[in-house]
Amino acid sequence: MADYYDILGVSRSASQDEIKRAYRKKARTLHPDVAGPDKADEFKEVTAAYEVLSNDEKRRLYDMGGESALRNGGAGAAGFGGAFQDIFDTFFGGSTAARGPVPRGRRGQDALVPVEIELKDAVFGVETDITIETAVRCGTCNGTCSREGSAPTTCSACGGSGSVRKVTNSFLGQVMSTTSCGVCQGHGTVITDPCLDCAGEGRVRAQQTLNVNIPAGIDDGMRIRMSGKGEVGPAGGPQGDLFIEVHVADHPEFTRQGDDLVCELEIPMTAAALGTTMNIESFDGPEEITIEPGTSGGVSLRVRGKGVGRLHRSDRGDLVINVHVITPTKLSGREKELLKELAEIRGENAPEAKLVSENSSMFSRFRERFK
């Protein structure tokens, strides 16, 4: 099932009033009596979502672990029973009973922070500190929203219930409806002497430094979730989650292909013909490479286990070295003489043009790599 917040079209930090308005709007258009039986399943989804999000305890459990947390917490599956009052309210203009005051403390918003790392950090993993600006609990009032020595007072309009009742006339006669108190916004209390540092919000903006463990094998654009490291909610409510979006900087010599590191190696024509050994500088330090005699351009050499670390595993990909044979373009007189002499020895001083099919050429390259 889709996320309950997505079903109602509200954010995870939405207030109870916002959740109720969103439910009423959807219920009016999806109710089977209005939209027909085809919308019955969608109407049940919306009602089930509202049944959970309109209940503070169920919402808290759902925010911690989704539907499984609801089942484990004894909340059970959402149904129509608890939402009947709001269905009645949607079509007849009011609910039948009060729900009690709404807590001020709400879950804070999730935050997204981009972090750039080097390719080497993606190969081996890295721990790094990041500094972000976020909402933290007010140190002066400790999230109570009130100035030191004072406390919220009971709302005189609703008597602390968070809701007020009124009688309206309908085609059914007089209906007693209950609505959220407009004076205290449904909280049941009023902040009469707010904290000066947070202006009665219970939280302030501040810079915070966090240590982030970036695992080996992470790729560009991936995100790391840090639960409970997002913004503190209003009135010192629980923190949301922090998402670290990782961007891997380009490297001048190595590129990444899956779990492999790929680089390009240029060797002179003579080294390709005679064979040689040479060192290249990899992320693991100097790596000795053997060029077999008769190596042709386009051959790829593979060094096992010297590539990128694989996510949540202990092994690594490979280091792939694409070999390019450089043919000299400027020759001295002596060099030309030597090459002509070599061509005569090999019978290549007057070579005949010989066309080969693309398939044959490809087969030849694969055969050479296999060797």
Q: Is 263 annotated as a binding residue?
A: no
Of 76, 92, 108, which residue constitutes the final position of a domain? 92
Residue-range definition of the domain harbouring residue 260: 255-370
pLDDT at 147: 92
Is 115 part of any domain?
no
- Which CATH number do you get for residue 360? 2.60.260.20
DSSP reduced 3-state for 320: strand
pLDDT tier at 303 (50, 70, 90 boundaries)?
very high
Q: Is 181 annotated as a binding residue?
A: yes
Is 131 part of any domain?
no
Q: Is 138 annotated as a binding residue?
A: yes
pLDDT of 18 above 50: yes
Is 239 part of any domain?
no
pLDDT at 253: 95
Is 297 part of any domain?
yes
Specify the number of domains making up the chain: 2
Of 60, 92, 124, which residue constitutes the final position of a domain? 92
Is 212 part of any domain?
no
Give exposure, 204-233, as e/b (b: 16+ Cβ within 10 Å).
Answer: beeeeeeebebbbbbeeebebebeebbbbb
Is 32 part of any domain?
yes
pLDDT tier at 346 (50, 70, 90 boundaries)?
confident
Is 127 part of any domain?
no
Question: Which residues 6+ apart lie within 8 Å of 307 measured at CB?
Answer: 123, 259, 260, 261, 316, 317, 318, 319, 320
Average pLDDT value over all residues in the chain:
83
Q: pLDDT higher for 367 or 15?
A: 15
- Which CATH number do you get for residue 18? 1.10.287.110
pLDDT of 60 above 90: no
Work out the average pLDDT over 83-98. 48
Of 40, 75, 92, which residue constitutes the final position of a domain? 92
Question: Which residues 6+ apart lie within 8 Å of 330 measured at CB?
Answer: none
pLDDT of 369 above 70: no
Is 279 part of any domain?
yes
Q: Is 145 annotated as a binding residue?
A: no
pLDDT tens digit string along 105-125?
A: 889 999 999 999 999 999 999
